[in-house]
Homo-oligomer: A and B are copies of this chain.
Amino acid sequence: MYSPGDFPPFAVTVDLVVLTVRSDALCALLVRRGEAPFRGRWALPGGFVRIAESVDDAAARELAEETGVSGLHLEQLGTYGEPRRDPRMRVVSVAYLALAPDLPVPVAGTDAAAASWVPVSEVSSLAFDHSVILGDGVERARAKLEYTPLGTAFCGREFTVAELRRVYEIVWGVSLDPRNFHRKVTGAEGFLTATGQTTARDGGRPAALYRRGDAAVLHPPLVRG
C-alpha cells in the first residue's frame, strides 16, 4: 500500500488551550513568541511531537512543562491541518484543551520569551491560526460544563459551592441563582464529595467544603442560563 519514502513528510505539533478562572475572568495561558515567524506575538503554548512519544503524551509533557503541574484535565480538541497555517513548512497541529485551577504563576517555558494568563475576552490576534483554536477551546469548555462535572477542574482540591458557582457564572457569562445551583450540584450523583469541613472565607455562615466526585457525566446536566 505504501512504504517509507513515498509519503509526504509533515511536522506534527501539539498546541494547548489551557484555561483557568482567575480575577473574575476566564483566562488562557499564552506565551510570547521569541523567534520568527510571528516573533513578539502571543501564541498558544505547544511544541513538536517527538518521534518516539505518542501525541497525547506530547501534550501532557508540554502541559507539565508550561504549568509546572501535572494531573490536570487534558483532552483532545481537534487537529488543524491547513497547508499554509505555518508559513515555513507543512505542520499539522493537534490541539488539546486543559482546564486548570488558579495556578500561582506560569513558569517561563523553555523556548518561550514569556508566559502569562490572559483573559480570553482581551485576546486579540494570535500567531498562526491560534485564535481559531482558542475560540474552539473556549466553546468546548463552555459546552463541557453543561454535561460533565468539569467545572470542578477550575477549582482547587477543596472548594465551596459558591466558588464553584462563580466558575460557572464566569465561564458562561451568566448569573445563576445560588439556591437552585446549590440544590442541583449537591443533588447530582457523583458530582461532589463532602469533606465534612467548613470554611468562612467571605463572612456569613460558613460554607461546607467539597471535593470533586467521581462521576464522568452529569445526570441531569446543568443548564446554561
Contact = CB atoms under 8 A, between A and B. Distances in A.
Interface of A: 1-4, 7-12, 33-36, 48-56, 76, 78-83, 88-90, 92, 94, 111
16 contacts: A7-B89, A8-B12, A8-B50, A8-B51, A9-B10, A10-B10, A12-B12, A49-B92, A51-B90, A52-B83, A53-B83, A54-B81, A55-B79, A55-B81, A55-B92, A56-B81
B79 A49 contact: no
A69 to B, nearest CB: 23
Contact of A76 (B35, B79, B92): B79
Nearest to A88: B4
A135 B110 CA distance: 38
Given A54-B83, A81-B56, A48 B12 contact: no
B79 A94 contact: yes
Contacts of A111: 1
